[in-house]
Chain A
Amino acid sequence: MKKQTLREWLLTAPSFIWLVFFFLIPTLIIYAFALRPADFYGGVKEGWSLDAFRSLARPNYFTILWRTLFLSFATTLISLMIALPVGYYIARCKKSTQNLLLLLVVLPFWSSFIVRIYAWKSLLHPEGFVKQLLVHLHIISEETMLLYQLETVLLVMVYSYLPFAILPIYAAASKFNPQLFEAAKDLGMSRPQTFLKVFIPGIRKGIVTAIIMVFIPAVGAYVIPDLVGGPKTEMIGNKIVQKTFIDRNLPEASALSALLSVAVVIPIAALSYFQFYSERKQRTVKKRKSA
C-alpha cells in the first residue's frame, strides 16, 4: 500500500511540479502585479495600489472591451453556422470519405498560424488577387479598402478558428443515431424541424465544446487584429501587448489581463452550468418515466 502511494507520487510529481511552477503560480501572479504601483523604469514598486484597476475605467477601454466581445461572439456564431452543416455532412459520409474530409479540414490548421494570416493579408492587399478579381468583376471600386476593416478581422478570425468548431460537432454528429431522422420523418416532421428539434439537441455536447473552443482563442486574439486590422479594430489583446511592450506599464497590462480572464471564465462557467443543469433535468425526466 505504501509502495503504491510512493509510485503514484513518483509518476505524478514531474508534470505536477512543472505545472505548479510554470502555470499555476504565473497565473496568480497577474493579480499580484495588477495591485502594484508602476515605477518609471518599466517595473513595479513596493506597496499596493488600485491605480491599475482604476485605469480600466477609461471610456476607450469600454469601447475596446465591447468590440472584443462582439468580435468573439460573432466569430463563434458564424463558425457554428458553418460547422453545423459541415459536421453533419462529414458524419454521414462513408468512413473512408470521412477520414479524407477530416484530414482536409485539419491540414491547413496544422500549418503556421502566422503564414495563414499573411496569406489573407496578401490576398486582400490592394494589389492582391481577391481585390483585383473583385474590381475586375465590378463588385467593388478601385478605392475600396479590403484590409484594416472590422469585417476583415472577423473574416480572418472565422478562417483561423473554424476547424475548432467543425471537429467537436463532427465528433458529436458521428455518434448521433441516424435512425432518429427516419423516425422524425415518419412522425411528420419537416426537414428544418428535424434539424432544429432532433439533431441540434442530440449533439448539444458537441455544440458546447465547439463554442468554448472557438470563443477562447477569439477573445484573446491579438495577432489577427494587429496584422489585418487597423486602429479601429483593436481588441483587449492589442492593448495588453501595447501596455506590456510599448508603454511598459506592467500593472495596467496585468489589470487588462485580469479583465480578459474574467471575459473567458464567465461564458465558460455559464455554458458548463447550462450543460450540468440540462443533464440533471434529463436525468429527472428519465427517473420520472421509469417510476
Chain B
Amino acid sequence: MKRSSFPFIVTLLMLFFLYLPIVILVVNSFNESRFGGVWTGFSLKWYHKLFQDRTIWYALQNSLIVAVSASVTSTILGTLAAFSLHRYRTKLQKIHYGLIYAPLLIPDILMGICLLLFFIALNIQLSLFTIFLAHTTFCISYVTMVVLAKLHNFDFSLVEAAQDLGASGYTVMKRILLPLLMPGLISAFLLSFTLSIDDYIITSFVAGPSSTTLPLYVYGMIKYGSPPIINALSTLLLVVTFICVSITYRLTKEDAQ
C-alpha cells in the first residue's frame, strides 16, 4: 500500500516548529546586535557580560545545592518505593501507588500553593530548605516510575541463582541488584536533577527572599527588561541539559540491548 506523505510532512514541519526558537536563540547569543532581528556580526560580548554578573553565580550555586540534595533524597525514597510496589501486592501498596501517582496529575501551580500554605500554617520560614522539600516531593513520583519500569524488566532469577549459591541478602544487594539497576538509578537521578534545576513554578511559591534559584533569576531578567545575556545564559543551560540527556540516552540504550 502506497503511504500517504501527509504524516511525513507534518512531522517535518513539527520538528521545524520545535527547533526554530532554540536555534535562533543560540545564534543570537553570538550576535553583536542588542535585538535579534538582524545579524550585525559575531561577538562573545554577551558571554563576557554573563561571566561578570556575580548574582547569576550566586543563583546557580543555590540551584545546584537544591538540585543535588533533592535528587539524592528523591532517588533514595523513590527507589525504596519502587521496590515495595514491585514486590508486594497488598492494599497498602494500592494506596501507596495512588499517593505516588497523584502528584503527576495535579498542575504545578496547585502543588506550589499547597506547599506554600502548608509552610505558612506550620510557621516554617521559606528558605532553600523549603525549596528542597518541595523539589524532593515532586521528584519522588518520577524516580519511582523510572525505577519501577526497570524492575519490571529485571530478571529476578539472577537473584534466586545467587541465593541458591549461598549469597547473603547483603551480597545479593551489593553484587547483583545495585550494579544491574545502576543505569536505571542514574537516569532517575539525572531526571530529578534536570526537573529540579529547571523548576520555576513550584519554586516561585516556596522560595524565601534570599533563596533565589537560577530559574527565578532568569524569570526576573525576562520580565523586567530583557538584556541579551539571557541568550548566552540559555545557550549554556541548553548545552548542560543536552549533555545530561545524552548520558541518560546512552544508559537506557545499553539497558535495552
Instruction: Spell out A's residues near B (CB within 8 Å).
Output: 8-9, 11-12, 14-16, 18-20, 22-27, 29-30, 33, 43, 82, 85-86, 88-90, 92, 99, 101, 103-108, 110-123, 125, 127-129, 131-132, 159, 162, 166, 181-182, 185, 191, 212, 216-217, 219-223, 226-227, 237, 240-241, 244, 250, 253-254, 257, 260-261, 264, 268
Q: Given contacts A108-B22, A253-B113, could you give 10 more A-B pairs where the C-beta distance is less than 8 Å? A: A12-B84, A12-B88, A14-B76, A16-B96, A18-B137, A22-B136, A89-B8, A105-B18, A107-B245, A223-B219
Q: Check B11–A15 contact: CB distance below 8 A.
A: no
Q: Check B37–A132 contact: CB distance below 8 A.
A: yes
Q: Check A119–B22 contact: CB distance below 8 A.
A: yes
User: Is the CB of B200 closer than 8 A to any CB of chain A?
Assistant: yes
Give the residue among B3, B100, B118 with the most A Cβ atoms within 10 A.
B118
Chain B residues whose C-beta falls within 8 Å of the C-beta of A27 in the assembled complex: 106, 110, 114
**Chain B 89-122, CB within 8 Å of chain A: the 1/0 string?**
0101100100110110111111101111110110
Which of B40-48, B52-60, B160-168, B231-239 participates in binding chain A?
B231-239
Q: How many angstroms between the C-alpha atoms of A116 and B136 in the bound complex? A: 24
Instruction: Spell out B's residues near A (CB within 8 Å).
Output: 1, 3-4, 6-8, 10-11, 14-15, 17-22, 24-25, 28, 35-38, 76-78, 80-81, 83-84, 87-88, 90, 92-93, 96, 99-100, 102-103, 105-111, 113-118, 120-121, 133-134, 136-137, 140, 144, 194, 198, 200-201, 204-205, 215, 218-219, 222-223, 226, 230-231, 234, 237-238, 241-242, 244-245, 249, 253
CB distance from B168 to the nearest CB of A (A): 16
Chain B residues whose C-beta falls within 8 Å of the C-beta of A16 in the assembled complex: 81, 96, 99
CB distance from A193 to the nearest CB of B (A): 13
Chain B residues whose C-beta falls within 8 Å of the C-beta of A166 in the assembled complex: 14
**Given A15-B96, A86-B7, A244-B116: A114 touches B222 (CB 8 Å cut-off):** yes
Chain B residues whose C-beta falls within 8 Å of the C-beta of A219 in the assembled complex: 107
Q: Check B80–A114 contact: CB distance below 8 A.
A: no
Determine which of B1, B90, B108, B118 lies in contact with A26 in the assembled complex, contact meaning CB atoms within 8 Å.
B118
Q: Check B93–A112 contact: CB distance below 8 A.
A: no
Q: How many angstroms between the C-alpha atoms of A92 and B3 in the bound complex? A: 10
Chain A residues whose C-beta falls within 8 Å of the C-beta of B77 in the assembled complex: 14-15, 18
CB distance from B111 to the nearest CB of A (A): 8
Q: Check A129–B37 contact: CB distance below 8 A.
A: yes
Q: Check A33–B117 contact: CB distance below 8 A.
A: yes
**Given A107-B245, A115-B25: A86 touches B234 (CB 8 Å cut-off):** no
Q: Check B1–A182 contact: CB distance below 8 A.
A: yes
Among residues of A, the one whose C-beta sits closest to the C-beta of B76 is: A14
Determine which of B18, B118, B218 lies in contact with A159 in the assembled complex, contact meaning CB atoms within 8 Å.
B18
CB distance from B86 to the nearest CB of A (A): 10
Q: How many angstroms between the C-alpha atoms of A22 and B120 in the bound complex? A: 13
Q: How many angstroms between the C-alpha atoms of A26 and B103 in the bound complex? A: 12
CB distance from B38 to the nearest CB of A (A): 7
**Given A29-B117, A122-B36: A111 touches B215 (CB 8 Å cut-off):** no
**Given A105-B18, A159-B18: A85 touches B99 (CB 8 Å cut-off):** no
Q: Check B7–A85 contact: CB distance below 8 A.
A: yes
Q: How many angstroms between the C-alpha atoms of A27 and B116 in the bound complex? A: 11
Q: Check A121–B226 contact: CB distance below 8 A.
A: yes
Q: Check B137–A19 contact: CB distance below 8 A.
A: yes
Among residues of B, the one whose C-beta sits closest to the C-beta of A184 is: B1
Chain A residues whose C-beta falls within 8 Å of the C-beta of B87 in the assembled complex: 8, 11
Q: Check A244–B198 contact: CB distance below 8 A.
A: no
